């Protein structure tokens, strides 16, 4: 069946197993305790041994199975020739192969795809704060041309505070084909719960929250984790008027959210493009809602002046 499935479905099915393996590596490195932290662009942008190793696992596995695939990883170009052989995943998730694939996506070839990889989203929570490991996710997003169409989110520390419970979960989705591994829940009616960054706050973010006056604000780590809160009905909107997120942060969450009826755009309501040549940074921020119908309310209630300031609003270091 794998050989006859459309290219996008095959890469998605492989990515499910690959994300699981990357999650094992992230847990193994934490258990050993040698995180090997380095600052990339500054203290707000860290990389650990787990980010590097998980990316090596994901890229080597994808390129082993699909040498012609375009893959962009957060940690940039790395030497894949020396990695342990048991990091190279050679199988795929058979259950994903029967996802409904629209005719337009079916005709996409391997060379039409770009895969965006955030090997460890929520590095600040992984390294700096005790008790927030379940904010960490592995994100593998697939674009056909410019459109984010499919994604995998693996949460390696799901359930880690519940003794005896199964540790970790993986879910995935395809636009037009639905979601597997997670049952979406609608957020409570009659309230506005907004989630935003915990560790990359700015004045403009606070100003936006003051204008929106949500009933509750959930400041948590990770782009993947915040979109997951929308999917699980714990928040109505993810509001991030900052240019801090990159395409690897939003590709997988956007695709899965769209597959379940939500909407993710920039703060002006424009959809991001995900072809391999696109600028990595999401310059106009992120605005996502659990239900697509709620998106316009946020767009209408955020002043143009705020929207125009997003791209220049990064905190001065």
Residues lying near ligand AMP in the complex (CB under 6 A) are found at 44-45, 121-122, 197, 199-200, 221-223, 242, 244-245, 249, 314
121 versus 284: smaller Cβ distance to ligand AMP: 121
Footprint (CB under 5 A) of Mg ion, residues 223-252: 249
49 versus 91: smaller Cβ distance to ligand AMP: 49
Least distance CB 21 / ligand AMP (angstroms)? 21
Q: Which residue is nearest to ligand AMP (CB)?
A: 244
Q: What are residue 61's phi and psi, to 5 degrees?
A: -70, -45
Check residue 254 for interaction with Mg ion (CB under 5 A).
no
Which of Mg ion, ligand AMP, none does residue 75 bind (CB under 5 to 8 Å by kind)?
none
Which of Mg ion, ligand AMP, none does residue 254 bind (CB under 5 to 8 Å by kind)?
none
Active site residue 266: no
User: Do 116 and 248 contact (CB within 8 A), yes or no?
Assistant: yes
d(CA 72, CA 113): 11
| Secondary structure (H, E, C), 197-233 | ECCCCCHHHHHHHHHHCCCEEEEECCHHHHHHHHHCC
Check residue 75 for interaction with Mg ion (CB under 5 A).
no
140 versus 223: smaller Cβ distance to ligand AMP: 223
Which of Mg ion, ligand AMP, none does residue 253 bind (CB under 5 to 8 Å by kind)?
none
Catalytic residue among 114, 123, 137, 170: 123
Q: For helices 247-259 and 223-231, give the axis angle rounded to 10 degrees.
A: 10
Q: What angle do CA 258, 54, 145 make, to 5 degrees?
A: 35
d(CA 242, CA 8): 31
User: Do 26 and 120 contact (CB within 8 A), yes or no?
Assistant: yes
Residue 270: DSSP 8-state: P
Which of ligand AMP, Mg ion, none does residue 200 bind (CB under 5 to 8 Å by kind)?
ligand AMP
Helix or strand run (H / E) with residue 71: strand 70-73
d(CA 183, CA 257): 12
Active site residue 123: yes
d(CA 99, CA 131): 36
Least distance CB 223 / Mg ion (angstroms)? 6
Catalytic residue among 20, 51, 134, 266: 51
d(CA 149, CA 222): 20
Which of Mg ion, ligand AMP, none does residue 245 bind (CB under 5 to 8 Å by kind)?
ligand AMP
> What residues are annotated to the active site?
51, 123
Which parts of this chain interact with Mg ion (CB under 5 A)?
A: 74, 118, 120-121, 249
């Amino acid at each position: 069946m794998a050989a006859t499935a459309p290219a996008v479905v095959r890469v998605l099915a492989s990515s499910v197993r690959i994300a699981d393996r990357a999650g094992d590596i992230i847990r193994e490195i934490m258990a050993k305790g040698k995180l090997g932290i380095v600052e990339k662009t500054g203290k707000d942008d860290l990389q650990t041994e787990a980010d590097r190793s998980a990316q090596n696992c994901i890229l080597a596995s994808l390129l082993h199975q699909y040498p012609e695939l375009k893959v962009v990883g957060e940690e940039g170009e790395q030497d894949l020739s020396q990695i342990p052989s048991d990091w190279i995943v050679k199988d795929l998730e058979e259950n994903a192969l029967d996802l409904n694939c629209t005719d337009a996506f079916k005709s996409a070839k391997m060379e039409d795809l770009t895969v965006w990889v955030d090997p460890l989203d929520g590095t600040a929570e992984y390294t700096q704060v005790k008790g927030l490991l379940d904010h960490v996710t592995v994100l593998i997003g697939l674009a056909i041309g410019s459109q984010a169409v499919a994604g995998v989110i693996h949460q390696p520390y799901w359930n880690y505070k519940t003794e005896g419970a199964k540790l970790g979960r993986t879910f995935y989705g395809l636009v037009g084909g639905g979601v597997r591994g997670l049952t979406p829940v609608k957020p409570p009616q009659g309230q506005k719960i907004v989630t935003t960054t915990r560790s990359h706050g700015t004045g403009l973010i606070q100003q936006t929250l003051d204008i929106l006056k949500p009933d509750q604000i959930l400041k948590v780590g990770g782009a993947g984790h915040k979109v997951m809160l929308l999917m699980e009905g714990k928040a109505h909107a993810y509001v991030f008027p900052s240019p801090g997120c990159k395409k690897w942060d939003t590709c997988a969450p956007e695709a899965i959210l769209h597959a379940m009826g939500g909407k993710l755009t920039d703060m002006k309501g424009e959809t991001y493009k995900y072809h391999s040549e696109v600028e990595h940074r999401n310059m106009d921020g992120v605005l996502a809602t659990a239900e697509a119908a709620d998106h316009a309310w946020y767009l209408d209630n955020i002043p143009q002046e705020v929207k125009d300031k997003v791209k220049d609003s990064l905190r001065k270091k």
